[in-house]
Amino acid sequence: MNDVQLSKDVIPPVAKSIKVERSLEEAFRLFTEGIHTWWPLGTHSVGQDKAKTCVLEGKAGGRLYEVQKDGNQADWGEILVWEPPRRFITTWHPGRENATAQEVEVIFTAEGTGTRVELTHRNWELLGERAEEMRDSYVPGWDYVLGFYASQVETLERS
């Protein structure tokens, strides 16, 4: 029997995890439906200072996109898997062609009085020569975004 060997070209995913003091359902809802309340658009969007809001359409086949102040939209991805309140998977290609889309999976797990949120960003190889550089920029980028989510979620009124 042959062991499956990973190609030397496979780039490891970026994996991040945080805990928020919200129920599983609230953590999922705030991350998805409430993404416009916490995503740091000024620094982590296509339009940056031109970005007005972002939207995650909660269904398989739904869009993840930003809306800019002039009404233009920039796609970030498409929802591939939608399993509330446990997980979702989206393609990820903000401001780029869909052909270079990676995948981002977010898993929500009840843990004590809160919820563990685990994010895995994979398929970097699709970016070709820029793959490692892009991955390296997302390591602190996802820390910032998830940290922003956690701090904003703590200040939002509980439902």
pLDDT score recorded for residue 7: 45
Cα–Cα distance measured from residue 18 to residue 107, given in angstroms and rounded to the nearest whole number: 11
Q: Are 115 and 109 in contact (CB under 8 A)?
A: yes
What band does 46 get if pLDDT is binned at 50, 70 and 90?
very high
Mean pLDDT of 105-110: 98
* Number of neighbours of residue 113 by Cβ within 10 angstroms: 9
Which pairs with CB-CB distance under 8 Å and at least 24 residues apart come from 41-46? 41/66, 43/144, 44/141, 44/144, 44/145, 45/74, 45/94, 46/74, 46/76, 46/94, 46/95
In this predicted structure, which of 6-10, 65-69, 87-91, 97-101 has the lowest mean pLDDT? Answer: 6-10
Average pLDDT, the chain: 92
pLDDT score recorded for residue 158: 62
Instruction: Give pLDDT tens digits for 47-63.
Output: 999 999 999 999 999 99
Q: Are 134 and 127 in contact (CB under 8 A)?
A: yes
The domain made up of 14-155 has a fold known as: Alpha-D-Glucose-1,6-Bisphosphate; Chain A, domain 4 (3.30.530)
Cα–Cα distance measured from residue 24 to residue 126, given in angstroms and rounded to the nearest whole number: 32
Residue 22 has pLDDT above 50, yes or no: yes
- pTM (predicted TM-score): 0.92
Residue 6 has pLDDT above 70, yes or no: no
At position 46, the amino acid (one-letter code) is: V
**123's torsion region: left (phi>0), alpha (psi -120 to 50) or beta?**
left
pLDDT score recorded for residue 159: 55
User: Where are the chain's structural domains?
Assistant: 14-155
Mean pLDDT of 73-89: 97
Q: Are 11 and 130 in contact (CB under 8 A)?
A: no
Cα–Cα distance measured from residue 7 to residue 96, given in angstroms and rounded to the nearest whole number: 25
Mean pLDDT of 84-90: 98
What band does 17 get if pLDDT is binned at 50, 70 and 90?
very high
